[in-house]
Amino acid sequence: MSSSTPNKHLKLEINIGDQLTTISCGHVVAELIKFIAYQRLQIPYTYPWLKQLITKRKELDHENKKESFQSEKHFRTAETALKNLDLILKSLLLEINSPSMPDEVCIILGATPITCKEVYRLILPATCHRPQCHSSLIASDQKIHRNVFRAVVTSEKLNEMFLNTLAPTNMFVFLKKRTFNDQDALLDTMMYPLLILAMRIVSMKTVKN
């Protein structure tokens, strides 16, 4: 980062403890994105609660119960946001479970990727077990989630940053792919200029024992 942006880069190391599979890693990343979206007011409710509300509202549609125009408008906006988020998470899980697992997932909040307000860099482990690997040394999803979110919710600096509210805006998700045969990685030439322009940057790096 440039020296003109002091005290705006928060680094958080997350100890994942035991070894994990690519599927577990993908689930952790997906849950962190849901967490960030809710904490930064990009969705009005937690992801499970929002999904439940959308499902119940659709059931009312089947029963032909009429709602006001304003209520219908809010519902359609929430439904579209949930569909887009689900599509992003589904695509992300496929990428993380692919032969070339990404090095980093970058979540950008702001009007555009260039004029962003906040950037969250999720730096993934260098190695993960394939899903076919069955070992008692590999932790369960639940145990890994507990370790990750314990580190996140107990971070005083992160909670302090969350006190500064952020109005609903656009959310962009980028991947930094690993290089093979001297090919340029995705975002290799554009990620760092984006980070310099961001108002706040949070780097979450997973580390092993």
pLDDT score recorded for residue 37: 93
Q: Which residues of 29-48 are buried (b: 16+ CB within 10 A; e: fewer)?
A: bbbbbbbbbbbbebbeeebe
pLDDT score recorded for residue 32: 92
pLDDT score recorded for residue 69: 59
Q: Helix, strand, or coil here: 117?
A: strand
Question: How far from 131 is each of 82, 96, 126, CA to CA, in Å?
Answer: 28, 12, 16
Are the C-beta atoms of 87 and 169 separated by less than 8 Å?
Answer: no
pLDDT score recorded for residue 40: 92
pLDDT score recorded for residue 38: 92
Q: Which fold has domain 9-208?
A: Cell Cycle, Spindle Assembly Checkpoint Protein; Chain A (3.30.900)
Question: How far from 189 is each of 38, 115, 203, CA to CA, in Å?
Answer: 30, 17, 18
Domain boundaries, the chain: 9-208
pTM of the model as a whole: 0.78
For the chain, 209 residues long, the average pLDDT of each consecutive 10-residue run is 50 71 85 93 90 85 64 81 90 86 89 88 76 52 79 88 89 80 44 45 64
